[in-house]
């Protein structure tokens, strides 16, 4: 007799930004500013307008 696994399959994990207010994944970049150690970007959620700041480090 063959045993069948009954564990639920895990959903794939999504990478990237998620709006904390509405859960949307679509953002518009408002401005980009270079810094001495990387780049700072200001983004707004297309759905609710929540602002997010991202910092990208240059290695």
Residue boundaries of the structural domains of the chain: 27-57
- pLDDT tens-digit readout, 23-49: 999 999 999 999 989 999 999 999 999
Torsion of CA 16, 19, 24, 28, to 10 degrees: -80
Cβ contact 29:42 at 8 Å = yes
Cβ contact 19:25 at 8 Å = yes
Query: Could you give the CA distance from residue 14 to residue 56 in angstroms, rounded to a whole number?
Result: 19
Give pLDDT, residue 13. 74
Beta strands 27-35; 38-45: pairing state = antiparallel
pTM > 0.75: yes or no = no
């Amino acid at each position: 007799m063959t045993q069948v696994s009954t564990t639920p399959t895990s959903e794939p994990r999504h990478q990237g930004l998620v709006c904390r207010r509405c859960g949307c994944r679509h953002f518009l970049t408002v401005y980009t500013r270079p810094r001495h150690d990387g780049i700072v970007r200001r983004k707004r959620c297309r759905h609710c307008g929540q602002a997010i700041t991202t910092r990208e480090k240059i290695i």
